[in-house]
Structure 1
Amino acid sequence: MKLWRWIVGLILVAVLAAFGWHWVAQDPGYVLVHWRGTNVQMTLVTLVAILLLAWAVIAALVTLIRWPFGALTRRHRRLSRRRLADGLVSLVEGRHAEAERDLNRAARYPSVRGPALLAAAEAAERHGESTRALETLDAAAQETPRAARVLRARLLRRGGKAAEAAALLAPEAGTAALTPAGWVEYAEASLETGDARSAMRALEPLQKSGELGARAYTELESRVLAAYVGAAADGATLATLWSQLPKAQRRLPAAVDAYARQAAKHGQTMAAMDEIETALRREWSSQLIATYGEMGSEDIEQRLRRAESWVDAHPNDAALLTALGRMCVRVRLWGKARPYLERALAIAPSADAWEALGDVYLGEEQPELAQRCYRNALALSRGELTEALPEYRGRRIDTRVTAVEERDQHGVPRLSP
């Protein structure tokens, strides 16, 4: 397409030139220049050509005169860009002192001064020079005030001054003038100071901008909603707050989990159960089933029957098996709890499952096995190795390997390939 455009353009230029030359040839014009007794006669076309030639010669002379002076500027610009690039590479590679030095040198050239100072402040902070980083940000604020403010808030939050970071961004947050990075910092600082309501204000502009990406935004939204719901002081406040949230936010597993825990804490166990069961019918979540099994002893038999009905569709969910084992422990069904916990440990060992199995052995008056289970729970929470129980040796299912049955979303077993 570009070639055809060039061809058509050249044809148009040729046609215009032909018509123009024909028009000028009919009457080329006449110019008389009289200066101090000297007469110069020429056509108008000749005069225009002389003027264009004179302009080209003067421009070339000016360029030639300015070239030695511009060489220094070009060299400075080239060095500044190279130092900026070297400084950014050093910053990523962890050579923070070298990065700060190169970036401060790059900041001497006006065109890259703002970005160079911002990166130099980051390098100084990573090098442990917080005071120098803030001083560098003071200089960067003259070039890029909004970016410098966001970076200052980030450095303050990293330094344990989340309240100062939130106060720094609060004026722009009040007018909805924060950049996407500013909203993220405002949300993080508000969460760290326990001000979940302020953090909620950042969700809508971040969602509209789409700059975080779906996964990062969902993670931040989940944390903010969990903190917001978890801050309810009583059951009435919790119910009002939950009903005012948009439907999409009430469907997030983290939000449902926070609501259920708070509802159970305020004596609203039935509401918590209903919300979890509704969420699990909509989308299965190991996080929610774990909370379902931790909700205390109220209506434990009903919850146990409901959870057992989910095993056919999710036979390999270690969180479900652990929750069943823990609920069986609460109603002292030791023989029923053990198979659930053994399978959970075989699929995905966890400290909760080991602890619940220890409770089983303690209920069966086997203190030595119970103590070993508790030691395994402690070791697993520390990231250490666990030891198999004597009873498991020589058995088909142990805590190290199991044959895991695969099923589809309808609970139908999949055939092996």
Structure 2
Amino acid sequence: MKRIYWLLLILVLVAGVASWMFFGLPLAEHKGYVLIAFQGFRYESSVWAFVAALLVLWLLVYLLRLSLRLLVASGGLLNPWSRLHSRRRVRLASEQGFLELAEGRWARALRHLKQAADSSPQPLSYYLGAARAAHQLGQYEDCDGLLEQALDRQPQAELAIALLHAELQQARGQSEAALETLQVMRARHPHHHLVLRQLQQLYLQTEDWSALLGLLPDLQKEKSLGNAELSELERQAWRGRLLQAGQPVGGDAQAALVLLQQAWQAMSGAQHKQPELVAVYAEQLRQLGAEAEAEELLRPFLKQHYDIALVRLYGLLRGRDLSRQLQAAEGWLKQHPEDAGLLLTLGRLCLHSQLWGKAQDYLESSLTFQRHPETCTELARLQAQLGDLERSNSLYQEGLILLDSRLCTPALPATT
């Protein structure tokens, strides 16, 4: 409208100046005539007087609008409940609240962020910050109430609110509630990477290895984890699954053995070649009394993939054929003649077969390469059996000293 007013004014002025310049006629000599008659109203004037009246009227309207605008603006400055002051209060409360939240001043942060949320048309971030502050204060009911208010005000932010809710529930130790929240979100957002990551963390925390293994394909498909991290997570999950399966429920070792074997068969061929997983499976077999099966697993594996931890475990097993077991271990000695762990294993296998002389030779050789508390203990037992109690006691003492140094146990105070 301002442009139209100015355009009319310019046109009138241009028309007047043009008539005076091109026709050489003074404006005053050609006044024109304007007549406005409506019912009982009658207005008569010259054209230029009418134009001047329009200009004056326009000027009055413009000044009136300007005055009203200034009056409204001044009223906003003076009125503490005006929109201007409301926006200013929200800004100050949010700035102060987030600063206090970052600094760990939970009570003040809660108060300021609630104030900002109540007055803001987009309160989500304020409600989430206030919920965190309430959680830190241990006010869990208030925390959940703030999240419900956030959902009521911004229902389109359901996923963001639910993710924070599950995170806080997990931090409180409410694993079942957190799992329920995340499962609802997974049903509605099955491919969202943050939902999958939080489920992964929850399954790790609760040691729900079966559920974690079921989640791995989705984590891989959505590329929520890098290849190295995913491989490590898969290894950790299978390790936990094997350990969990090998725990007898109600003392039923046979049922636990069946579950353990089923878990091992469910693993891939590549996982059957990972020494750590093989060690866990073999140890669980040993604990459940299936030493022969564990020995038959380790013997061909060690022939192709020599591993010192598995070699030490092999010496604890009693296979079906002790002579064949000893022969296999002595075959490895050709490639690893200075391996103290292998020599300890050979000494133990000789003890199983009651080959006392060979056992002593292997154990003594092991000690020449490494002074290990297990080797000292095995040799001390053998010396005691052979009647050399002095040497036996000396080896026991050395083993205790070596074990004490490994555990970094402080020395006992001297008695007075």
Residue matched to 1:201: 214
Distance 1:141 1:67 in 2: 28
8 A contact 2:246–2:288 mirrored in 1 = no
SS at match of 2:354: coil
Kindly report which structure 2 residues correspond to 1:390-401, keeping only aligned pairs within 5 A, or say none.
Answer: none
TM-score for both structures, normalised by structure 2: 0.57
The structural deviation recorded for 1:342 is 5.1
Mapped to 2, the partners of 1:86 and 1:342 lie a distance apart of 62
Cα distance in structure 2, aligned partners of 1:386 and 1:75: 56
- The 1:272–1:138 alpha-carbon spacing in structure 2 relative to 1, beyond 3 Å, is same
Identity of aligned residues (%): 23
Does residue 165 of the first structure (1) align with residue 148 of the second (2)?
Answer: no
Partner of 2:374: 352
Q: What aligned pairs does 1:8-407 form with structure 2 within 5 A after superposition?
A: 69-87=86-104, 100-101=106-107, 104=110, 107-108=113-114, 109-110=116-117, 111-115=125-129, 117-118=131-132, 121=135, 132=138, 134-135=140-141, 137-139=143-145, 141-142=147-148, 144-156=161-173, 165-166=175-176, 168-169=178-179, 172-173=182-183, 178-191=195-208, 196-207=209-220, 209-210=224-225, 213=229, 217=233, 220-231=236-247, 233=255, 236-264=258-286, 269-281=291-303, 283-296=305-318, 298-314=320-336, 317-338=339-360, 340-341=362-363, 350-378=372-400, 381=403, 383-384=407-408
Cα shift at 1:226: 2.4
State the 1:316 CA deviation.
5.8
Letter in 2 for 1:78: E
- Tell me: CA distance 1:237–1:75, structure 2 relative to 1, closer, same or farther (3 Å): closer
Distance 2:199 2:329 in 1: 44
AA at the equivalent of 2:196: T
Larger RCO (CA under 8 A, 6+ residues apart): 1
Residue identity opposite 1:310 in structure 2: W
Task: Describe the SS at the equivalent of 1:233.
Answer: helix
Query: Structure 2: which 5+ runs fail to align?
Result: 1-6, 13-42, 44-49, 56-61, 78-82, 118-124, 151-160, 248-253, 412-416
Q: Which residue type is aligned with residue 169 of structure 1?
A: L
Cα displacement string for residues 280-321 of structure 1 (whole angstroms, at most 9, x for unaligned residues): 455443332232222235433322232233345445655434
Q: Residues 336-370 of structure 1, C-alpha deviation per residue, up to 9 Å, x if partnerless? A: 44465456556665543332232232233222333
Higher helix share: 2
* 8 Å CA contact 1:261, 1:291 repeated in 2: yes
Measure how far apart 1:381 and its partner are: 4.9
| CA apart distance, 1:86 | 1.6
Matched residue SS, 2:332:
coil
Q: In structure 2, the residue corresponding to 1:310 is in which secondary structure? A: helix
Q: Which amino acid aligns with 1:370?
A: S
- Under a length normalisation based on structure 1, what TM-score does the superposition of the two structures give? 0.57
Cα pair distance change 1:272/1:83, threshold 3 Å: same
Q: What is the alpha-carbon distance in structure 1 between the residues aligned to residue 366 and residue 142 of structure 2?
A: 54
How far residue 202 of structure 1 moved from its aligned partner, in angstroms, is: 4.2
Q: For this pair of structures, how many residues does the alignment match?
A: 313
Q: Cα distance 1:170–1:350, how it changes in 2: closer, same or farther (>3 A)?
A: farther
> How far off its partner does 1:154 sit?
4.3
- Between the aligned partners of 1:345 and 1:139, the Cα distance in structure 2 is 67
- Whole-angstrom distance in 2 between the partners of 1:218 and 1:166: 23
**Amino acid aligned to 2:279:** D
Q: Quote how far apart the aligned CAs of 1:84 are.
A: 2.3
Aligned-residue RMSD, C-alpha: 4.6
User: 1:331 deviation in Å?
Assistant: 2.5
CA spacing shift, 1:203–1:120, aligned 2, 3 Å: farther
Gaps of 5+ in 1: 1-29, 41-49, 88-98, 125-131, 157-163, 388-417
> Which is higher, the Rg of structure 1 or of structure 2?
2
